[in-house]
Structure formats: C-alpha cells, structure tokens
A and B are shown apart, each in its own frame.
Chain A
Amino acid sequence: MTAQIIDRTDIKKITLNVTSEIGRLRQVGIHYPGDELKYMTPSNKDALLFDDILLADYAQKEHEEFQQMMEVLMIHTYQVVDLLGKVLTDPPSDLMEQVIKIQENTEKKMGNKWVPAYRTCIQHEFDNKLMKDATMWATKLITGICANAEDATALKFRQRDDPFLLTPIPNILFMRDPAAVVGNNVIVGKMTKPARQREAYLLHLIFNYILAKESAASRTNKLFDFFDEKPENELDDGGLENMNVEGGDILVINSETLAIGCSERTTPEFVQEAISRMFHSATWKNIKTIIAILMPKQRSTMHLDTIFTMINKNECLVYAPMILARGREQVTAIRYTVDSEGKLNIYQEADVVTAVENAMRGYLHNRAYTLTAYPCGGEDPIHQEREQWNDGANVLALAPGVIVGYNRNLKTFSVLHERANYKIVDASEIIQNHGLSQKIIEAMDNGSGEKFAIRIPGYELSRARGGPRCMTMPFQRDEVHWEEGLAS
C-alpha cells in the first residue's frame, strides 16, 4: 500500500466526547511530524526537550504507519496543521501579537536575550504573502523560523544553540499534552516548559474555532483554558500562574472520574483548582471523583501516562515500582469524591490500582470490580526501567483490549501475550491484510472478546520520549459498556 495522508479538514465533522481511556476510538487528533524535527541539533535539543535528534523522514514514515493503521481500523485522524490552517482562514486579529508575546516570554524564560528588533523580524517573515496562504502560515507556526543571514539579526543566526527567530515546537508531535477532551468538554493545557507554550496557544485557537462552529445547541465548554482565564485583579491572579496542566497527566477513568498526575508537568495547584471546580463550577458538574497521584518530578516519568495506562475494562499496564503496592518508588494516590449529599470525602489509598478500583466501584454503584495490573517490561527491574523509558507503559487503547505500543518493548508485549492472552500483531500487517483488519474492527465494534496488542515501529519516534498515547488526542470514543463481561 502506498503512503497516503488522508486529508480531514472538515471541522464540522468533529465530535468531542471522551468518557474513558478505552472506549472504541472514533476520532483522534495527531500531528504528522514535519520540518520542525530538522531544526533540532545536539546543542538545542535539551532546550527543545528532546534527548536525541530525530531524522524527520524516518520519523514521518513511522508516524504514517501509525496513522494509516488507525485509518484502516476506521478511526478518523485529524492533523493539527490542517485544523490550524482552517483557523487561519479566519484568524483572530491579535494572533501574531500573541505568538510574538509567547516567543518573547519563551526566550526570556530560556535565558535568551530579547530585543525589539526580533519582533520586527518575525513580523517581516510573516508578511502578507505568507499570511495569505493559511496552510503555509500554519506550518511555519509549528516549524519555526531560522534567522536569516542577511537581515538585522545576522548575529543571532550565528548562535549555535539558538539561531531561531521563532522557535520550532517539535513537541507538538505529542498531541496529548497541549489539550485534553474530557467528556464533552475541553481542557487546554498550560505548559510547564517554555518550549511548549505556543502549542497550547495553537490548541486554544483550534478549540475556540471548533466551539464557535458548533451548532447553536453547543454542548461543549472549556473546563480550563489559561488563555481565557482572566485574573480578578492585577496583583493577585489567584495562583493562576502556577496552575500548570498537560494532557499526559489527565486520565479519564470513566465519565465521572479523572486520575490526574501531579508530575514534572502538572502542578498540585492545578489539581487543587480542579477539585474546587468539581464543586463550584457548573461545567465540572459531571466529575464526581478525582484521583490525585503524587509523582516524583523527573523526566523519565514526566506524565502520569508514562507509568499508568488503562488497556481494557479491568486491565491496566503499569510501571510496577511506582504503581504497585510495595513498589520501591511507590507514588501516593489520594481519592477526592463528592458523595450523593454533596460532601467531599478524601481517601488516602494504598496504591494507584486500589484507588482506581474504589473509584470504579463507586461509579458502578458498588458492583464488584477488580483491576489487574500488568508490569511493563515484565518482572526484571532492569527491563521494567528500560521499557518504561521507551514508553512501554504509554500505550494507546483503540478499544477495550485493543492497544498500540512501540515494537521495541518486547518484554511488555510478551507479558500481555503470555499472561493476558493478547494477540500480537504488527501495524504493517493490519494495513496489508484485509482479513486481519476486519477481524480487529469486529473485536473493536462488537466486543468479540479477542484482544490485540499492535506493534508500531519506534526507532525514531521513541527517541523523543513519548509513546502512542502521547502522540494522540482522542476527540471521540464510544461509551464503554462497563457492566458487560466484568468478572464479578
């Protein structure tokens, strides 16, 4: 099958509804990595939050296979650059002003110099010609712009670590983080790292556009969007500045329960605010339980979804030392629940799995529910660490019991195969073998009970420290029929 990027730009067809981590995926936002990867060098990769430099066309090939496999399984994939292109056909008047403000902010936070001349240079680059071509404009907002050897910033371009007028945002490959759909609503991220701030702004624009185009009976709201939040007074912003949140830390366990990681990227201040809004804000009224998971602030486990993902109704994949009871680096899980009388109950849980079980039992009105955790990397601590690092635990569920992971995490796949009866298939096989893809669609749509663990190549992609869950922002998942097939 020849490579083909399916163009999906009809924003009206987008439906926002995500009430679980595992419901059959219908629509998903992704970013096909582009020239922004070519701008990464050994000297700027750390500032851009990459451990290694990626070769763009290899990464693109792998990403294409991932995307094609999803399309073959009848999952509609939306490219962020296409959506942004739509926004830019009718852009807000202050758009470039905001972009430049964020760039200035980013440069200063990264310890770089900022002079007013850069503003003029950026404006010069984004001239009328460029801005008439919405696609080109959208692309440049992601790839960034190198300083030109001939203009006023001639010295800047000689800087090895930062020759950019507009910094590239290669991390937008990890679409999960700058925003998250929760129920019918949206959280737009407030990114911790300056290198990612423009991503959240672009997603803010995209969701504003989607929301504005929705029918009059729009059901969609923003749960949180830093770019909309206006502090009541100048001196006290109510802690808004500290409310960092990234989508990788938000797990939608069920329609009433969120698990939120307090990690390197999401602050306790945000979680506190979320708990408070669960009571006081009408848009948050569906959320009845928040499990706060207190994680160490470290790169290897930057988001909750790097150590814990749901893969089936009663199965999860975990980094055992942090998630399981008696783990050496066990994280703390605290469950905040609003009971039927509107009272807040706080439970210190034994471990994350227990916390999720308790939340699920509450959601299922005290039906029996147990969650089985499978260790990423198997039992050997060395391999647990190695495969966690390569996003062994960061899998994407396409449906209950149908998941996607990187090929290199062999020990994780072998655990799923041997202990949980997953059938291991390769994405390339699904693309080529119609019978196989039909069989998987059948399992996804009708719950045939067959389980599949799909491998995608991750030679280049995994270098960027993000797995299949990181690379996807689900717009729409089917509701999960929790009662069916649960062991009681």
Chain B
Amino acid sequence: MNKSTNFLITSETGVLKSVIVHTPGAEIEKVTPRNRKRMLFDDTLYFKDAKEREDASNALYPDVFDEHQEFVKVLESADVEVLQVKNLLAETLMQASVEIRDNFLDRICELDGTAPFYRQRLEMLYHESPSQLAAILISGELKDVNASFVAHTGEGPFDLSPIPNMMFVRDTAAVVGDVLLLGSMSHKARARETLLMEFIFNFHPDFISVRVPVVNIGKGLLFESTGSSLDHSFPHILFESSSLHLTGTGIKIAGSDVPDGEFALLSDEGDVTLDASNVHTTVRNTLVLECGNIIVLSRDLILIGHGHRANASAIDRLAEELLSHRKLVKKIIIVSMIEDKDNHLDTFFSVLENELCLVHGSVIEPCGAKIAVSTMELLDGKIEIKDHLSLREALAYSGFNPEFAYLAGLDPTLPMAEDAAYKRIIQEREWSTQAVNVLVLAPGKVLSFKRNKDTIAHLENKGYERVTARDFCSNPKHWQGKKIVIVVDDAELSRAHGGPRSLVLPLRREPAK
C-alpha cells in the first residue's frame, strides 16, 4: 500500500491505481454438489491442489486459480497495485493487539457456530503462522471424518466453513469519494467476508496510517469517537457485521500509529460500558447492501441498485450518510430491479469511458416491468425522492448524458428484427456470463470475459480493439491511447457467475478528466 495517498474513487473510469482482490484458493475445493446452493454456487469449480499444481503434466489444463492469476497479471501490467485479501489479513493479524484479535476470532467462531475446541485451534494456528491462519479463515477447514460422526455421516463436514465467494471482493465494500463503505451481505454464507474486510480496514497498519473513514452499512447508527483516550482523528470504527451485532466490548488498539486506548461503541441500545467480559451478540440482518450495487458516476453522483442484494433500509441509511451527513454526493439514482431482484446492478450497467456506458438494453429505456427508477437528493436540507420514466431520463436529470453500448449489441431503440427472439436469447446468455460486468482500467480500457462474443463484437463496432490478456501483458505500453477490450480466459471463473468487475475492489483511481 502506497502510504502517501488516501482512498479515492470519483468515477468508474479514472486510471486504476490500487485494488484489493482475492485469488481463489482451497475454499473452492470444498464446494460440493450437495452444499453448492448454500454456498451460492451453481456448479463446482475445477481446482488443483498443491501437489497437482506442481505436476507439470497438469499444466495443459488451467484451473480457476490459473485463470485468476492471469487476470491479476493484466492488472499488474497496467501498473495497478494489487493487494491480496489473504496477505492483508495476515498482516493485520500480526499487528493487532491480543484483545482485538481475540475479539475478531471470537466473532468468526460465533458467526460460524464452531465448537469451542476449534477456537483454541485458531489461537494455536495464529502462534504457528498468522499467514496460515489467514488462509484458513477463508478456505475453512474440514473435520476429520474418522473422528467426527457428523462429518462421518456427511451432514456437517466443516470445523470452519469455507467462504468461496470471497473472490467477489467487490461486494464486501466500496470506496465512494474518500470514504470506505463496508457492505452488509444478504446471505449468511457471505457474512464472514465483510467481517474480514472490516477487520482489515480498521486495523491494518497501512490503512490506520492513512486514516480511512469507514462507514459500516450494517450498522444502524453511526459511531463517532466520544472523547476517549483514542486519537480523535481516527473516527468511525465499528465492530459489526451483517448478521451479528456486537452490542458491547472493550477494545484496546495497539499499533504504531494509534496509541493504546479505549473507546466506546454505540449500539442501538445506546452507550455500552466498556467491559471485555460483557460481550454478547444478537442476530440481526436488517440492512443489506452488497457493494456490487454501487456505481460511482462522478464526484457528485452515484447509482445504486435496489433488490434482494441491497434493500431499501440500507439505501435510506446510505442516503442519510452520503447526502445529509457527509454531503459527499449531490444525488443518488436508485434502480429498483423488479424482475431480477437477486442480481447486482453492475450486471446491467457499467461505465466504459467518460461518455460511454455499457448497458442491458432493457434497463435504459422506459421501464416497463423490468425496473423502476428514482432519485434521492438534498433539497433545503431535506432528502427528497423523485420517480423517473427511465434510467436514461434519470441520468439526464442528474446532468449525465452518455452514449450507450448494448449488451449483445441489442439496441432497444431500434425496431425489432425478425430474429429478435434469438437475439434476446444471446442477450440473456451473455448477461448471465457477465458481459456487462466489465472492469475499466482506464477510460476506454476494458477487461472482459472472453466468452461474451456478441457484446465484444459490438464494442469492436464502437471502435474498440479486442486484445488477448497475453498480448496485453507482453507489451502494455503498445496500447496506450487506444480503446481496447482485454479478454481473459473464463472457463472456470464464469461458472461462479461473477464478472471482472465483481472480482476487484478498487481503492484508488485517478480523478477522471
């Protein structure tokens, strides 16, 4: 982490400088046909274990790890700083005080309902190797089938469940302006992801030193430092996750940049006395916001998807925070997904360059049954909501008048062709393989899954050049000033139904020109 700069995201397209990713590991191997639905996977992914990876004869067939490595290589070739969740987690574990670490591990165990002995195992792992502990907090751990009857019968094979969706790190958090929003997941299978990110953002030495303001969406009330011995300029630390609500604890913060000290947590019940023994939790999950639903259009304007993965209470809370409290943005456009509630907005809408967006045709024109569009803005110090005819209109109302490129090239403004039914099939297929969910490295530099051929062909018609990841990495400078779609192999990545944008959490982009 480059310590001299803060987090800053004021557009979707400014030159990407620093990101967090998670290269999938052993957690992938623990998804089975039986547990895949619970793990939110449609299918199992091909993954080689360490021994198989070493075996040269297996090199012919890349697995999901290899594909992700190629993806990361593209980012690095574009001079993006790539931080791995696993490393950040290990570094945070090493730096955190005993109390903070204890509390963190306790919460992981409580969230997962692990057996008491397993808490000790985590402690032991920490002393052996913090980086191994970090890996296991993501990959989970299997029970011994010969020692545990519940594992023997196949009913509960895990001591600690894996979190295979960690690779979609986009959903766990988002930077808006210079503020970090911690998401709150809709499914329990993903709850630990935000817990890990929260721990990292609050206690990683590099992040403490840049004093990131953290807003935790899962939290009903915003915490403000209350004049404890804690440094005042280190605000808004909350210990909370989507499904577990910690109502009180005593925490000491140790670290080079933050003096040891105590601070209070506000809960829904009010102030809680600091007392390490007074730790109790209640299950709660009223605010849901997965950050794939947040699109930062400009310094003043954000777009939020509303559905199962971002509920209305969370959007109210976010509006209050960003519009009223922090005056961070001037307007929020909300797209309610009526038909496909269980998706993120970034599967329907993305920005490719200053004046060009890539969209699913059906979300941009008058809404019909598919979506509803509203805006929230501050008028005379009060939030006001306005409904709109279409997303196009709402964007124009907010001073944003881009051109559009369309998913599978299906332009809704053109008259229906004879083969419209077939075109719509292609559109639905590429939508599900994340053709819209592209990652923008710089204006007009787009990273896409290779299989979305019709959408890529449409972009080629719009002046983009298709470049393979290998060609790009071999000479990244060659493409300077050109509009390109860099295509990455996706045989396994695409099975998990998250696209390039979902795989990356941007921390910093250069301000767009």
- Taking the complex as formed, is A148 at the interface, i.e. its CB lies under 8 A from any CB of chain B? yes
* A385 contacts partner chain B, Cβ-Cβ < 8 Å: yes
- Distance between Cα atoms of A55 and B453 in the complex (Å): 10
The answer to whether the Cβ of A240 comes within 8 Å of any Cβ in the partner chain is no
B425, A146: Cβ atoms closer than 8 Å: yes
Prevailing SS type, chain B contact patch: loop
Query: Which residues of A are found within 8 Å of B416, using beta-carbon distances?
Result: 149
Return the chain A residue nearest B49 by Cβ.
A410
B133 to chain A, nearest CB (A): 22
Residue contact B421 to A147, C-beta cutoff 8 Å: yes
User: Nearest residue in A to B58 (C-beta to C-beta)?
Assistant: A410
- Complex-state Cα separation, A426 to B32, whole angstroms: 26
Interface residues contributed by chain A, number (CB under 8 Å)? 43
Contacts of A40 in B (CB 8 A): 429
State which residues 463-492 of B face A: CB under 8 Å: 491-492
Whether A52 contacts B43 by the Cβ 8 Å rule is yes
Inter-chain contact B60/A428, CB cutoff 8 Å? yes
A370-414 residues with Cβ-Cβ distance < 8 A to B are: 381-383, 385-386, 388-390, 407-408, 410, 414
Q: State which of A252-260, A271-279, A347-355, A455-463 sits at the interface with chain B.
A: A455-463
Q: Taking the nearest CB of chain B, how far is it from the CB of A47, in angstroms?
A: 14
Q: In the complex, what's the smallest C-beta–C-beta distance from A354 to chain B, in angstroms? A: 24
Quick check: B32 and A459 within 8 Å, CB to CB? no
A428–B58 Cα distance when bound, in Å, is: 13
B389 interface residue per 8 A CB criterion: no
For residues 408 through 442 of chain A, which have their beta carbon under 8 Å from a beta carbon of chain B?
408, 410, 414, 424, 426, 428
Determine which of B154, B157, B426, B495 lies in contact with A52 in the assembled complex, contact meaning CB atoms within 8 Å. B495
Verify A382–B428 contact, CB threshold 8 A.
Answer: no
Q: Would B43 and A51 count as touching, CB distance under 8 A?
A: yes
Give residues of chain B (379-429) contacting chain A, Cβ–Cβ below 8 Å. 416-422, 424-426, 428-429
| Inter-chain contact B420/A43, CB cutoff 8 Å | no
Residues from chain A with a CB closer than 8 A to the CB of B492 are 459
Contact B33 A157 (CB under 8 A): no
Structural contact, B429 and A150, CB atoms closer than 8 A? no
Partner of A386, one of B44, B48, B142: B44
* CB <8 Å contact, B29 and A382: yes
Option from B46, B142, B432 in Cβ contact (under 8 Å) with A459? B46
How many angstroms from the CA of A460 to the CA of B61 in the assembled complex? 13
Pairwise interchain contact A381-B418, C-beta atoms closer than 8 A: no
Which residues 139-153 of B have a CB within 8 angstroms of A?
Answer: 142, 145, 153
B460 at the A interface (CB under 8 A): no
Q: Determine if A85 is an interface residue (Cβ-Cβ < 8 Å).
A: no
Q: Which A residues are CB-close (under 8 A) to B426?
A: 38
- In the complex, what's the smallest C-beta–C-beta distance from B16 to chain A, in angstroms? 28
Taking the complex as formed, is B331 at the interface, i.e. its CB lies under 8 A from any CB of chain A? no
Pairwise interchain contact A390-B52, C-beta atoms closer than 8 A: no
Shortest Cβ distance from residue A161 to the other chain B in the assembled complex, whole angstroms: 10
**A-contact 0/1 string along B31-49, CB 8 Å cutoff:** 1111000000011101011
Is the Cβ of B61 less than 8 Å from the Cβ of A457? yes
Nearest A residue to B428, CB-CB: A41
Q: Are B32 and A389 in contact (CB under 8 A)?
A: yes
Residues in B whose Cβ lies below 8 Å from that of A148: 418, 421
With known contacts A328-B153, A408-B61, A149–B451 Cβ distance under 8 A: no
Q: How far is the CA of A127 from the CA of B204 in the complex (A)?
A: 70
Q: How far is the CA of A408 from the CA of B428 in the complex (A)?
A: 28
Which of B153, B418, B421, B422 has the most A CB atoms < 10 Å from its CB? B421
For residue B101, CB closer than 8 A to chain A, the reply is: no
A321 proximity list for chain B (CB < 8 A): 154
Partner pick for B46 among A157, A408, A424, CB 8 A cutoff: A408
Q: Are A146 and B42 in contact (CB under 8 A)?
A: no
Q: Is the CB of A43 within 8 A of B154?
A: no
Given A41-B429, A55-B451, A457-B61, verify A146-B421 contact (CB < 8 Å). Answer: yes
Q: Chain B contacts of A463 at CB under 8 A?
A: 43, 495
Report A145-203 residues with CB < 8 Å from chain B CB. Answer: 146-150, 157-158, 160, 163
Contacting pair A53 B418 (CB below 8 A): no
Report Cα–Cα, A163/B58, bound state, in Å.
Answer: 42
| A410 CB contacts on chain B under 8 angstroms | 48-49, 52, 58
A207 at the interface (CB under 8 A from B): no
Q: Which residues of chain A come closer than 8 Å to B495, judged between CB atoms?
A: 52, 463
B33 contacts A58, CB within 8 Å? no
**Contacting pair B145 A381 (CB below 8 A):** yes
Does chain A have a CB within 8 A of B228? Answer: no
Q: Is A42 an interface residue, CB under 8 A from the partner?
A: yes
Cβ of A386 and Cβ of B491 under 8 Å apart? no
Give the chain A neighbours of B44 by CB distance below 8 A. 386, 389-390
Residue of B31, B32, B426, B433 most packed against chain A (CB within 10 A)? B32
**B154 to chain A: which residues have CB within 8 Å?**
321, 328, 381
Asked if B30 lies at the interface with its beta carbon under 8 angstroms from chain A, I say yes
Interface of chain B residues 434 through 483 with chain A (CB within 8 A): 451
Which residues of chain B are near A382, meaning CB under 8 Å? 29-30, 32, 142, 157
Minimal beta-carbon separation of B371 from chain A (angstroms): 15
Partner of A149, one of B57, B145, B421: B421
Taking the nearest CB of chain A, how far is it from the CB of B140, in angstroms?
Answer: 11
**Is A300's CB within 8 Å of the partner chain B?**
yes
Known: A157-B421, A408-B46, A426-B60. A386 touches B33 (CB 8 A): yes
Q: Given the known inter-chain contacts A52-B43, A459-B491, please indicate yes or no for A386 contacting B29, CB distance below 8 A.
A: yes
Q: Is the CB of A407 within 8 A of B61?
A: yes
Residue of B nearest to A414 (CB): B52
Instruction: Tell me, yes or no, whether A39 is within 8 Å of chain B by CB.
Output: yes
Does B33 contact A149, Cβ atoms closer than 8 Å?
Answer: no
Complex Cα gap A322–B432 (Å): 35
Q: Mark B78-95, 1 if CB is under 8 A from A, else 0.
A: 000000000000000000
Q: Say how far A438's CB is from chain B's closest CB, in angstroms.
A: 21
Q: How far is the CA of A240 from the CA of B49 in the complex (A)?
A: 49
In the complex, what distance in Å separates the CA atom of A401 from the CA atom of B92?
A: 53
A41: nearest chain-B partner, CB-CB: B428
B476 to chain A, nearest CB (A): 27
Interface membership of chain A positions 448-474, coded 1 if the CB is closer than 8 angstroms to chain B and 0 otherwise? 000000010101100100000000000
Q: Which of A52, A383, A455, A460 has the most CB of B within 10 A?
A: A52
| Distance between Cα atoms of A140 and B451 in the complex (Å) | 25
Contact string against A for B residues 14-30, beta-carbon threshold 8 Å, 1 for contact and 0 otherwise: 00000000000000011
* Distance to closest chain B CB from A434 (angstroms): 19
Assuming the contacts A51-B43, A300-B33, A385-B32, asked whether A163 and B421 have C-beta atoms less than 8 A apart, the reply is yes
Question: Closest approach, in angstroms, between the C-beta of B175 and any C-beta of chain A?
Answer: 31
Task: Please name all residues of chain A whose beta carbon is closer than 8 Å to the beta carbon of B431 when the two chains form the complex.
Answer: 42
Q: Would you call A149 and B61 a contact (CB within 8 A)? A: no
Residues of A within 8 A of B33 (CB): 300, 385-386, 388-389
Q: Which residues of B have CB within 8 Å of A38?
A: 425-426, 429
Chain A contacts of B30 at CB under 8 A? 382
Task: Report the minimum CB–CB distance from A324 to chain B (whole Å).
Answer: 15
User: A407: shortest Cβ distance to chain B, in Å?
Assistant: 5
Bound CA–CA A386/B35 (angstroms): 10
The docked-state distance in angstroms from the alpha carbon of A381 to that of B142 is 11
Question: Whole-angstrom distance between the alpha carbons of A381 and B30 in the complex?
Answer: 11
Residues in B whose Cβ lies below 8 Å from that of A146: 419, 421-422, 425
Give the residues from 42 to 70 in chain B that come closer than 8 angstroms, CB to CB, to chain A.
Answer: 42-44, 46, 48-49, 52, 57-58, 60-61, 63
Residues of A within 8 A of B (CB): 38-43, 51-53, 55, 58, 146-150, 157-158, 160, 163, 300, 321, 328, 381-383, 385-386, 388-390, 407-408, 410, 414, 424, 426, 428, 455, 457, 459-460, 463
- Which chain B residues have a beta carbon within 8 Å of chain A's beta carbons? 29-34, 42-44, 46, 48-49, 52, 57-58, 60-61, 63, 142, 145, 153-154, 157, 416-422, 424-426, 428-429, 431-433, 451, 491-492, 495
When A and B form their complex, which 5 residue pairs have the shortest distance between CB atoms, in order from nearest? A459-B491, A157-B421, A389-B33, A163-B421, A41-B428
> Can you list 10 A-B contacts with CB-CB less than 8 angstroms, sorted by A residue number?
A38-B426, A53-B429, A58-B451, A146-B421, A386-B33, A410-B49, A410-B52, A414-B52, A426-B60, A463-B43
